[in-house]
A and B are shown apart, each in its own frame.
Chain A
């Protein structure tokens, strides 16, 4: 109970406690009223994965690196006749790109390994479903998630210049 402290009077702690609660009462509450007010999420939030289909080359890196095998990719080869070329070129065409979010553990490895920037994090998180099978998002739905992808952060002015910039500067200096 009221034990006299080193430099204070008995009951000092009790009064301090009252002061803290009073101060908390008059300062703003931290509650976010979620369904009424959308939360302001940081740009790097890991909410959902978006697919930019035009960048995908069906290299399968993401599907192979995925720790819980939740990315399903099907594709076929298509021959492209380029006029003037020695022989026809072959191109991979994406048939199916599904991510099963009931398995996904949001590690982000697929996004890291993608060499062509076809996968992105988006902060949207509200895609709960009544049926677990509906958590399998097909490529159309993954493409829709691209709308929520925030713009890349501006370059840190104190940081090193990006590789592209420095090579461009080198080339320009050489010219």
Chain B
């Protein structure tokens, strides 16, 4: 039996929205609990009775009820548009990330990798809009830091992704998973590290959260946001974790390939790997202090970029030799 086209499209759109709304909440809740336990606390315990599982839903309700403040001096249209612009790139990115083998992807694209890297870069515009339109020196400083950081880390991110695309000989995300072999874990290890770290910086997670830096810049480019718009920015951050974790999984950890039953349980392997990488994102946040702005740039240009370039040479050498 074949489904009518409209039904299939509807199911795929619904799937993307479900992933877009559910996975970030799961990651956020995990962050609450994991961070708490890593600091010897319990974290949320009341919301939803059992170990605070409904904490983020309660947070959402709270955010909706809060007053939506727009600063008097702000550029109102740009200020109000920024949260939406922050979310859209990640929504587009989720569309092309494959969950399992075959048809288990919202929209298979020949150039999925390229699309993802392109739209993730658009997120900077939202940050600049938010920071500038708030008419506040802290937000502007945060936005400028973010722009400098994102422009710098885009380079190692793209280079590391290029390495794996070169190894697989395709830009299609599904194609890369198809071509992936377990020994690539070793071969592409430097690229994996570079991609993960640059991805952390792209989504401005600690230790690369100098643009937000609550001890220096109040809350960076988010200082003036309240209520639902602030919640949208937070959602964008957590969707960002999911997207970066999923990309790391698909590009470097073999996506749906697991120890057994790849064809049937592929989606499970993907979700497990995404969960594991998300855990590492949270783990790194809890363990390390924030990098200073100059250290941040130094780490990118003197650490990640040379490693990524060396990895490209290595990939090309192995590719030519075999």
Contact = CB atoms under 8 A, between A and B. Distances in A.
B286 A31 contact: no
B287 A30 contact: no
A33 B37 contact: no
Interface string B37-50: 11111100100000
Nearest to B42: A31
Contact of B36 (A1, A29, A33): A29
Interface size class of B (residues with CB under 8 A): 10 to 19
B288 A24 contact: no
Contact of A33 (B42, B283, B284): B42
Interface in A15-43: 17-18, 20-22, 24-27, 29-31, 33
A22 B38 contact: yes
B38 A21 contact: yes
Given A17-B287, A18-B283, A33-B45, A24 B295 contact: no
A105 interface: no
Contacts of A25: 34, 37-38
B298 to A, nearest CB: 8
B42 A29 contact: yes
A4 to B, nearest CB: 14
A20 B283 CA distance: 11
B299 interface: yes
A22 B283 contact: yes
A14 interface: yes
B37 A29 contact: yes
Given A1-B295, A29-B36, A21 B287 contact: yes
B299 A1 contact: yes
Given A29-B36, A30-B40, A33-B45, A21 B299 contact: no
A31 B303 CA distance: 40
Interface string A131-163: 000000000000000000000000000000000
A26 B295 CA distance: 32
Contacts of B37: 24-26, 29
A25 B39 CA distance: 7
Interface in B20-69: 34, 36-42, 45
Interface size class of A (residues with CB under 8 A): 10 to 19
Given A1-B295, A1-B299, A20 B36 contact: no
Nearest to A20: B287
A136 B295 CA distance: 59
Contacts of B38: 21-22, 24-25
Contacts of B295: 1
Contacts of A27: 40
Contact of A21 (B41, B45, B283, B298): B283
Interface in B249-306: 283-284, 286-288, 291, 295, 298-299, 303
Nearest to A19: B287
A17 B36 contact: no
A30 B295 CA distance: 35
A42 B169 CA distance: 69
Contacts of A14: 287-288
Nearest to A32: B42
A21 to B, nearest CB: 4
B44 to A, nearest CB: 11
Interface string A66-84: 0000000000000000000
Contacts of B288: 14, 17
B36 to A, nearest CB: 7
A20 B295 CA distance: 24
B301 to A, nearest CB: 13
Contacts of A26: 37
Given A1-B299, A17-B288, A24 B39 contact: yes
B218 to A, nearest CB: 26
A159 B153 CA distance: 69
A14 B283 CA distance: 12
A22 B284 CA distance: 10
Interface in B299-317: 299, 303
6 contacts: A1-B291, A1-B303, A18-B287, A21-B283, A27-B40, A33-B45
Which 6 A-B pairs have CB atoms at the shortest separation, nearest pair first? Answer: A21-B38, A31-B42, A17-B287, A25-B37, A25-B38, A21-B287
Interface of B: 34, 36-42, 45, 283-284, 286-288, 291, 295, 298-299, 303
Given A25-B34, A31-B41, 7 more contacts: A21-B38, A21-B287, A25-B37, A26-B37, A29-B36, A29-B41, A33-B42
